[in-house]
Amino acid sequence: MGSAFCHKRGQFEFNLRSRQLVTSTPALIAIYLYQCLRGHAEDQVGFRYENYREDGGRIGVQTDSFLFEVQPKTWLTIQGEGVYDAISGLTPTGAPPPSTITFVETPPPPGASNTSVPLSHMQDARWAGSVGATLSYKQNHFTPQISYSQESDYVSRGAALNYSVDFNDKNTTLNLGWSHDSDRVLPHGFLYQDEKKNSDDILVGVNQLINPKAFLTVNFTYGHASGYLNDQYKGVLFDNEPQGDPSSPALEPENRPRKRDRYIGYVSFTQDVAPFHASAEISYRLSHDSYGINANTIQLSWFQKLGKHVVVSPMFRYYEQNAADFYATRFPDYNTRPTYYSADYRLSNFESLAAGLSLNWKIRDWLSVDVAYQRYVMRGLDGMTSQTAYPSANVFTIGARIWF
């Protein structure tokens, strides 16, 4: 079970870095990283290339990541990762399709569909890195971690501290985690001055070995974010401009609350299926936040061993959420606008499906290779948001690790 658990970690990291799929917290990352390290006592270095590509020329993300893990002492493991993301493509502005607007001040560019949501081009690069250490004393394990990320419109500094303690002959592990991110949002899009954003996440979880062939994980996470929580590139269409001209619809910057609280429950169960030389995992994630969004995620994974050195892993994930309290595709009057408003499709009522297949091949005792493909599809459920706002994407991954 340990090797299968660590094998799926690559997908978890992709989700975080690309910010396109389900995201989680630095505290969770450190805990999962630590658990994987406990399953690998050898030093190692690795490289991973990921290509996230939305259909229709929308957002594409190419990611190169390097990682290392060394254990200079039996009680000390040091791990780190460096990441470079190249992001480019088209993203929705927040406005509805031009065909639904009575008057458009600036017509859509040549070749654009009158029935599709307007798109704007973006291009950026991101450098990120993290370093942490796991210190163990008897059944106690401490994992401090620091991280840094920088792109043209965003700078983030983070720290996390996790504590794990083993009970019951190491059959039970209690996990406690805290992380803090201090971010600076730089002027781009609708933002004309620097803004600050701070977030904290606290995790409490238990890993329980039920029997030699079954493993249970239960986590609860509370997160609090404050400061500038808007997407500076997303606008909201009002049916009149701020001066009140009803013949001139205007795209104004969105305005989300400056505080957000999140509550996330997670449970997963892994079962060894000895007759097939495989293991199966099912997980469920339930979340609620102060925006009024309730979300459900269920994932099924199968880890099939082929011979002594190859593991093939098909997976399926379903995600569904309702809309934020302040979401709408457009608003009637700027001068009587509500306190908060957004037309970002990511805050709407939608569902997404992801299905994929990964392969891990341990070519030598000191060398392993990973290859994976995933198809991701989003679909709106509210009947008012244009389906053209929701992306579909292909995700390709290849990587290698060397043990020494």
Domain limits, the chain: 2-403
The CA distance from 375 to 386, in Å, is: 21
The CA distance from 167 to 373, in Å, is: 38
The CA distance from 78 to 251, in Å, is: 49
pLDDT tens digits for range 153-166: 999 999 999 999 99
The pLDDT value recorded for residue 17 is 33
**Which residues in the chain show pLDDT less than 70?**
1-41, 102-113, 243-248
Asked whether 370 and 10 are in contact (CB, 8 A), the reply is yes
The CA distance from 33 to 143, in Å, is: 10
The pLDDT value recorded for residue 19 is 39
Lookup: tokens for 379: 């679909």
The CA distance from 129 to 125, in Å, is: 14
The CA distance from 295 to 286, in Å, is: 6
If DSSP states are collapsed to H, E and C, what string results for the chain? CHHHHHHCHHHHHHHHHHCCCCCCCHHHHHHHHHHHHHHCCCCEEEEEEEEEEEHHHECEEEEEEEEEEEEEECCEEEEEEEEEEEEEEEEECCCCCHHHCCCCCCCCCCCCCCCCCCEEEEEEEEEEEEEEEEEEECCEEEEEEEEEEEECCEEEEEEEEEEEEEECCCCEEEEEEEEEEEEEECCCCCCCCCEEEEEEEEEEEEEEEEECCEEEEEEEEEEEEEECCCCCCCEEEECCCCCCCCCCCEEEECECCCEEEEEEEEEEEEEEEHHHCEEEEEEEEEEEECCCCEEEEEEEEEEEEECCCEEEEEEEEEEEECCCCCECCCECCHHHCCCCEECCHHHCCEEEEEEEEEEEEEEECCEEEEEEEEEEEEEECCCCCCHHHCCEEEEEEEEEEEEC
The pLDDT value recorded for residue 263 is 98
pLDDT tens digits for range 283-309: 999 999 999 999 999 999 999 999 999
Lookup: tokens for 39: 């399953």
The pLDDT value recorded for residue 166 is 97
Length of the chain in residues, anyone? 404
- Predicted TM-score (pTM) above 0.95: no
How many C-beta neighbours within 10 Å does residue 140 have?
11
40-69: b (≥16 Cβ within 10 Å) or e: beeebebebebebbbeeeebbbbbebebeb
The pLDDT value recorded for residue 42 is 78
Pick the CATH number of 2-403 from 1.10.10.10, 2.40.160.40, 3.40.190.80, 2.40.37.20: 2.40.160.40
368 to each of 67, 73, 153, 322, 398, how far by Cα in Å? 14, 24, 37, 41, 11
